[in-house]
Amino acid sequence: MITAYGIPNCNTVKKAVTWLKDQELPYTFHDFKKQGVTAEQLNNWCAVFGWEKVLNKKGTTWRKLSQEEQDGVKDQGSAVAIMLANPSSIKRPVIEQDGKAILIGFQEEEYADILR
C-alpha cells in the first residue's frame, strides 16, 4: 500500500498524486496539516533521507521563521522540532510503501523507477 504525505494545495503534491492516479496505483493521501505527523515519522523520514532534505528550507514557511528560529536548526532534533511546530516546512510529498519511506519530493523518472 502506498501513502502520500503532504498538503493538498501544494503543486508538487498535486503532480505526484496525479502521477499515481495516471499509473492506476492505489494510494491513500495523508494531509499532515489536518491529520498531523509524529516525531517518530519525522525521525524515520530523516533516517532515510537526511534531516537536511526533509526540512524544506526553500519554502515560504521556512522564510517566515525568525532568524533566531532558523539559526537554531543545527541537527535532526532541532529540525524535527521545527517541522512538528510548522508542518508546512516538511518537504513534500513523502511517499511511503508498506510503511517505509521510499520517495520525497516529485521526480517523475524516480517515481517510475521505484514504483513500477
Please confirm, yes or no, whether 10 is among the known catalytic residues. yes
Residue 88 per-residue DSSP state: G
Which of 42, 40, 27, 82 minimizes the C-alpha distance to 59?
Answer: 82
Lookup: cell for 92: 513534500
Q: Which one of 2, 3, 10, 84 is the catalytic residue?
A: 10
> How far is Cα 23 from Cα 59, in angstroms, rounded to an integer?
28
Cα dihedral across residues 114, 58, 91, 30: positive or negative? negative
Query: Which burial class, exposed, middle or buried, applies to 38 when counting CB atoms under 10 A from its CB (0-12, 13-18, 19+)?
Result: exposed
| Active centre residues (catalytic) | 10
